[in-house]
Amino acid sequence: RYVAVDISTAVDIAAEEIAAPGRECAFLQCDLMRLPFASGVFDIVVSEGVLHHTPSTRRALLEVARRVAPGGLLMAYVYARKAPIREFTDDHIRAAVADMTPQQAWTALEPLTRLGVALGELKTQIDVPDVPLLGIKAGRYDIQRLFYWAICKAYYRPEFSFDEMNHINFDWFTPKYCHRQTPQEVVAWCGEAGLVIEHQRAEEAGIT
């Protein structure tokens, strides 16, 4: 048996696409911060890239963790905090498109996507020293990936169409809430929730 929840009507599409015949399942549209479930009712809870799209990642984690049964499992992925300039441009662009219509935001992000393509098509690598003040670790970087991680999310993937790449940028910059956290914050919040961490993996993109 399983239950799926989402705050949007996307839950209806999920019900159509992934409901397993012959399995007892429910798809509910509800607020993660006010889940209509008692404490400790689920053996396994999975949250993939959701908690950071709420007003507070910490509060969302506490709310979800409260529903996990003693001895159960909570598996989650949240965005990781990036280098300082990248963090600034993330917030700057998100604020700039916040009051736009979806079409206006899509159009406004197209030049950023073109920049990512231009950098990616250079196919140029450079050797970079440690730059702690900018959150950059020493290594050999493709110039587009260095820009992507340290300066601004200008997505590029050669096998993707322009619209697919622009959609990646659109999906990053247009949500109202898109918090990024440190591994230390996640560890502290898990402790606050009474969770014992069996496995944690921190990468540039996110924390599992």
Report residue 4 as tokens.
């799926």
* pTM, to two decimals: 0.91
**139's tokens:** 């290594």
Tokens standing for residue 60: 């969302």
The pLDDT assigned to 21 comes to 81
Query: Is residue 187 helix, strand or coil?
Result: helix
**Which amino acid does the sequence have at 179?**
H
Q: What is the pLDDT of residue 18?
A: 85
**Residues 168, 160: Cα–Cα separation, whole Å:** 10
Buried-exposed string 56-75: b where 16+ CB fall within 10 A, e elsewhere: ebbebbbbbbbbbeeeeebe
Which pLDDT does position 157 carry in this prediction? 97
CA count, 13 A, side-chain hemisphere, 204: 12
Per-residue pLDDT of the chain (208 residues; tens, 9 = 90+): 899 999 999 999 999 988 878 888 999 999 999 999 999 999 999 999 999 999 999 999 999 999 999 999 999 999 999 999 999 999 999 999 999 999 999 999 999 999 999 999 999 999 999 999 999 999 999 999 999 999 999 999 999 999 999 999 999 999 999 999 999 999 999 999 999 999 999 999 999 9
According to the model, what pLDDT value does residue 19 have? 82
3-state DSSP call for residue 131? strand
